[in-house]
């Protein structure tokens, strides 16, 4: 009907995402967000009438949607567990830019002392990932309790590796995690430890 947007929603949310993932919700100022998107502050308010919080909400929603499509869905899809986890490893590597990009679930977790506006979505996201990992471990032949433990451990390693990457300013921990992930979920308990099983060239 009228004047076209100078930047489409997808690209816009993507650029906002980068800022929030880099410096968190409180740390991201409207000035930074405007600079990162090329729009002025007032224009950002035209696109997101509810302001900064809505921006973060849509960024989080987009990330969760991407996660559902590229991580959760492949985990529950077809193919052998090994094939599926290989696909997920590839997509995780892309999503976290090989460990150079932090996770929104960590960067948005604190805003207002306790449970901010994102707390519910964040909790659901953690639970969904654990559940998906657990289902894969179950399918690989592990008992329910064992599968849940492996899934929770995998999520711990994921987020821990990302925290370490930021602290050490190195992408190595995340790459180590990716290489170990298939073994974490699938390998037999008594086999040799989970190395050289994964893709390995990442």
Partner DNA sequence: CTTGTTTTACCGAACGATCGGTTTTATGTC
Partner DNA sequence: GACATAAAACCGATCGTTCGGTAAAACAAG
Residues near DNA (CB under 7 A) are: 1-7, 28-32, 39-43, 45-47, 49, 51-53
Size of the site for its own copies (CB under 8 A): 51
Considering only 47, 57, 87, 111, the residue that binds its own copies (CB under 8 A) is: 111
Region of 47-55, 63-71, 98-106, 131-139 interacting with its own copies (CB under 8 A): 98-106
Q: Which of 30, 34, 97, 119 binds its own copies (CB under 8 A)?
A: 119
Binding its own copies (rule: CB under 8 A), the pick from 13, 33, 59, 180 is 180
The angle formed by the CA atoms of residues 104, 107 and 113, to the nearest 5 degrees, is: 130
**CA dist., res. 102 & res. 171, Å (int):** 11
How many residues would you count in the chain?
202
**H helices of the chain, where?**
9-27, 30-37, 41-47, 51-67, 73-76, 81-95, 104-107, 119-139, 144-168, 172-186
Q: What is the DSSP letter of 199?
A: -
Sign of CA dihedral 164, 166, 168, 173: positive
Let me know: does 125 contact 159? Beta carbons within 8 Å. Answer: no
The yes or no reply on residue 139 touching its own copies (CB under 8 A) is no
The span from the CA of 3 to the CA of 70, in Å, is 33
39 binds, among DNA, its own copies, none (CB under 5 to 8 A by kind): DNA
| Binding of residue 152 to its own copies (CB under 8 A) | yes
18 binds, among DNA, its own copies, none (CB under 5 to 8 A by kind): none
Question: Minimum CB separation from its own copies for residue 169, in Å?
Answer: 7
Angle (nearest 5°) at CA 163 between 23 and 120: 70
Q: Is 143 in the site for its own copies (CB under 8 A)?
A: no
Q: Can you say whether the dihedral through the CA atoms of 199, 196, 126, 29 is positive or negative?
A: negative
- Select from DNA, its own copies, none the partner in contact with residue 45, using the beta carbon and a kind-dependent cut-off of 5 to 8 Å: DNA
Of these, 4, 49, 189, 201, which contacts its own copies (CB under 8 A)?
Answer: 189
Residues that bind its own copies (CB under 8 A): 22-27, 102-103, 105-107, 109-115, 119, 122-123, 125-127, 146, 149, 152-153, 155-161, 163-164, 166-169, 173, 176-177, 180, 189-193, 195
């Amino acid at each position: 009907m009228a004047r076209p947007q100078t930047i489409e929603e997808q690209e816009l949310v993507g650029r906002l995402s980068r800022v929030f993932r880099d410096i968190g919700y409180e740390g991201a100022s409207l000035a930074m967000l405007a600079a990162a998107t090329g729009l002025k502050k007032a224009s950002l308010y035209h696109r997101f009438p509810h302001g900064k919080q809505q921006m973060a909400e849509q960024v989080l929603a987009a990330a969760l949607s991407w996660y559902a499509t590229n991580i959760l869905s492949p985990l529950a899809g077809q193919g052998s567990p090994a094939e599926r986890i290989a696909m997920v490893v590839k997509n995780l590597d892309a999503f976290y830019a090989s460990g150079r990009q932090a996770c929104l679930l960590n960067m948005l977790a604190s805003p207002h002392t306790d449970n901010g506006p994102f707390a519910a979505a964040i909790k659901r996201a953690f639970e969904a990932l654990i559940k998906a990992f657990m289902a894969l471990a179950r399918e690989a032949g592990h008992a329910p309790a064992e599968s849940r433990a492996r899934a929770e451990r995998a999520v711990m390693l994921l987020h821990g590796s990302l925290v370490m990457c930021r602290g050490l300013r190195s992408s190595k921990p995340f790459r180590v995690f990716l290489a170990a992930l298939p073994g974490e979920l699938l390998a037999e308990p008594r086999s040799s430890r989970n190395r050289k099983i994964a893709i390995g060239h990442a």
